Amino acid sequence: MLSNMIRVKVQYKDDKISKVSLRGHANYANFGKDIVCAAVSSIVTTTVNAILTLDSDACKYEMKDGKLDISIKENSDIALKLADNMLRMLCELETQYPKNIEIGGLK
């Protein structure tokens, strides 16, 4: 069963993003018409693809049963900057749609 909102959990190691986990569905609209889910998917997919294009070893991701876990390599400056940018964009969505996305673990 999917959550009533997208929950993003951020983990840090030595003050650097080490892992970002996403779970759930925004429930802003029906599947296929949900602009919040579409925005989250676009932000996250673009970020992971950019990181892997620039450094194929800089991050790893696993998607299973509607859950996504992204692990960031700690010594990749570009991956850390892109992951930080991703979180800023997700935070902007959280500000606009607080009933549909929640971000936890931010510093």
Q: Is the pLDDT of residue 49 over 80?
A: yes
What does the pLDDT average to over 81-92?
97
Asked if residue 75 belongs to a domain, the reply is yes
pLDDT tens digits for range 25-45: 999 998 889 999 999 999 999
Is there a domain that residue 67 lies in?
yes
Provide the 8-state DSSP code for 7: E
Q: What is the arithmetic mean of pLDDT over 6-17? A: 94
> Given a cut of 50, is residue 1 above it in pLDDT?
no
Q: Give the total number of structural domains in the chain.
A: 1
Q: What whole-number percentage of the chain has pLDDT above 90?
A: 83
Tell me whether residue 30 is in a domain.
yes
**Residue entry with tokens 């950019």:** 50
Q: Residue 35 is part of which domain span? A: 6-104
Q: Give a yes or no: residue 78 inside a domain.
A: yes
Strand bridging mode 6-13 / 101-104? parallel
55 lies in some domain: yes
**1 within a domain of the structure (yes/no):** no
Residue 66 or residue 17, greater confidence = 17
**Averaged pLDDT, 70-96:** 95
- DSSP H helical ranges for 21-76: 35-54
Q: What is the CATH number of the domain that holds 92?
A: 3.30.70.1490
How many C-beta neighbours within 10 Å does residue 44 have? 19
pTM of structure: 0.92
Task: Return d(Cα 58, Cα 56) in angstroms, integer.
Answer: 6
Residue 54 inside a domain? The answer is yes
Residue entry with tokens 């970020």: 47
